[in-house]
Amino acid sequence: AGAGVVALQLAGAVGGWRTAGLALLGALLTAWALPRLLPRGTLRLELGIPAVIATRFLAMGSLMGATAFVPLVLQRVHGWSVEQASVAVTLGSVSWAMGASLQTRVVDPRARRRLPLVGTVLLTLGFLPVAALVWEWMPVWVALVGWFFSGLGIGMVQSTLSDLALGMVARPEHGKVSSWLQVADNAGAALELAVVSIALALWRHTGGVDYLPASLIALAMAALSVVAALRIMRSPA
């Protein structure tokens, strides 16, 4: 799976026919290996543990992709310095911590099952103005407000999903579930960035708005995480 992701990431950097070759190799390796590292049914968003792991995969992938995208666009499109752009990353980290703290105060089991949906909705809605940063006319302060709420959403999602996943299985299965969560965290982010790398390599020849694929891919993953979170709501208690 790691080799497949590396091939996908390299595909966006080499250009020419090698891009197609490496992208195909990476896609085949990842498609073969990744499902074997996650619970069966994760890619189909099946109810129960698969839906939880899929939500984690999509939410973390979109968040990490946006975390790489935001400071870059602030510097290249809006003329911010490196130090100024780091403020945006810090703002997201602070709101992430706030979201993680808020979810600990929700103790009712039924309410906790709704937290992933609430968090992913905040994540997605917050990304809308962030995605628009690729245009110079977008007010940065509006995007930073959205970024704050995206961080708040992921803070509510990440810890809650760990709690829900572990609560769905017997204690002897906790190690396996923990490994699934770790794979989802890392694979989601790595795959998102790999796909963005290829998309940007192809996009630069079109003359379109710079970095637009990066914002749209992160937004699409966030929207899919809402769908996966809805499947958690429908899972048996």
**Full residue range of the structural domain in which residue 10 is found:** 1-37
Summarize pLDDT for 89-110 with one digit per residue, the tens. 899 899 999 999 999 998 888 8
Instruction: Measure the CA–CA gap between 151 and 213, rounded to whole angstroms.
Output: 21
Residues 27 and 113 in one domain: no
160 vs 204, higher pLDDT: 160
The confidence score (pLDDT) of residue 18 equals: 80
Q: Report which of 27, 50, 36 is spatially closest to residue 161, judged by C-alpha positions.
A: 50
Residues 172 and 142 in one domain: yes
Predicted TM-score of the model (pTM): 0.90
Q: What is the CATH number of the domain that holds 176?
A: 1.20.1250.20
Average pLDDT of every residue of the chain: 89
Residue 88 neighbours by CB distance under 10 Å:
22
CA angle at 89 for the pair 56 and 55, rounded to the nearest 5°: 10
For helices 174-203 and 212-234, give the axis angle rounded to 10 degrees.
150
Residues 33 and 52 in one domain: no
The confidence score (pLDDT) of residue 222 equals: 95
Summarize pLDDT for 20-67 with one digit per residue, the tens. 888 899 899 999 999 899 998 888 888 889 999 999 999 999 999 898
Which amino acid, 216? L
Residues 21 and 6 in one domain: yes
Does residue 237 carry a pLDDT above 80?
no
